[in-house]
Structures are given as structure tokens and as C-alpha cells.
Amino acid sequence: MSNPRSCPDCNSSRFELDRRQFVRATAVGAVAASTGIFIRPISAEEPAAKKPETLVAQLYKSLNEQQRAAVCFGFDHPLRQEVDNNWHITKTRVADFTADQQDLIREIFNGLHDPEYAQQVMQQVEHDNGRRPDVPKSGFGSCAIAMFGEPGTGKFEFVFTGRHVTRRCDGDSIEGAAFGG
């Protein structure tokens, strides 16, 4: 006599798991999880990316006197409070810096964004700022930066501006600032 509650799909032997097999599989999984078998070894981890605040300090140290005079200001300078949707905080453009400094500025900018979206944000900045391959001071290169205060000595803020873009990096030195500035 057949069981009225049986199901042809459930009666297949390939899905049967007796209590001993279940307990054995559960025990193996618990041991594996507790010993860290599923965790990547520390030596295999990629090195952590530098924080934007660290990169700002590196950029600051790389500036010559002429560059500092053009883009560095006291922390309480009124320009630090300015915001606009189409502006350049200083006359010095990203393209005016050395190639290494431009790379640092790009790393700082990208570090302020979730890695998942950094490329999309960069493409938008390039587009909004009129990127032309034959013109260095276009796209990202046409944007401007300023630094307020001195990194590592208390309050400081790095500001990146251009058309439709203003980004601030403060190293958590500004009390009450949302998202670090």
C-alpha cells in the first residue's frame, strides 16, 4: 500500500539524507568555520589602499613654494566655506601640477568614493568638465584644488572643485562635519 502523503520528487534516493549523514555534514561545517578554513589567509590579502587624508599629506609635502602660495591657505580662510556648482576654488588647475602630483590628486578624489562607483564618478567629472584628449586642461585636468591648514598639524581640509563637482576631505578634523567633511 502506498503512502497517500508521499511525493514522487521527495521519494528519490538522491535527496535522502539520514540523520547520521546530516550530523556528520553539520559537524564538518562547524569545525571548518571555527578553524578559519573559509577565511582568506592574511598573507593573501591585498594591501589596504591609503586613506585620502594620508594622500593629502603626501601631496602637501610634494608642493613647491610657488604651488603652496597658489593653493594653500589658513584653515579659517573664507574660501573654505564657499560652495558653487560650477567653480574653481583656485586658478591653478590639476593639469598644472607635476604628473606625480596629478596622480595623487586622482587617488585622493577616487578614495573619497566607494570603489564600486569611483570610475562612474570620474567619467562624469571628465564629461562635465569637457574632456578633450588633445587638451590637457580639460576634464579632470581642468578642475582645481585648495588646501586649508596643514595636514598632520591639526585642522585641515582638502577641497577639489570643477563644473558640477565639489569634494572635501578633512581627515575628520572638523567637529560635527557630515561624512568627514
Q: Cα-atom radius of gyration of the chain, to the nearest Å?
A: 27
Greatest Cα pair distance in the chain? 96
Supply the pLDDT for residue 106.
Answer: 94
Q: DSSP per residue over 105-168, as a string?
A: HHHHHHHTS-HHHHHHHHHHHHHHTT-BTTBTTSGGGG-EEEEEE-TTSS-EEEEEEEBTEEEE
> pLDDT at residue 174 above 70?
no
Residue 18, classified by CB atoms within 10 Å of its CB into exposed (0-12), middle (13-18) or buried (19+), is exposed
Contact 80, 147 (CB under 8 A): no
Closest Cα to residue 86, out of 129, 141, 145, 123? 129
At 49-95, the pLDDT tens digits run 568 788 999 999 999 999 999 999 999 999 998 888 889 999 999 99
Supply the pLDDT for residue 42.
Answer: 46
At 117-145, the pLDDT tens digits run 999 999 999 888 888 877 777 889 999 99
Contact 75, 149 (CB under 8 A): yes
Q: Which three cell numbers stand for residue 37?
A: 578554513
At 100-124, the pLDDT tens digits run 999 999 999 999 999 999 999 999 9
Supply the pLDDT for residue 26.
Answer: 72
**Dist. CA 69–CA 27, nearest whole Å:** 67
Computed from CA positions of residues 107, 111, 115, 119, in that sequence, does the dihedral angle turn out positive or negative? negative
Angle (CA) 59 125 60, round 5° = 10
> pLDDT at residue 9 above 80?
no
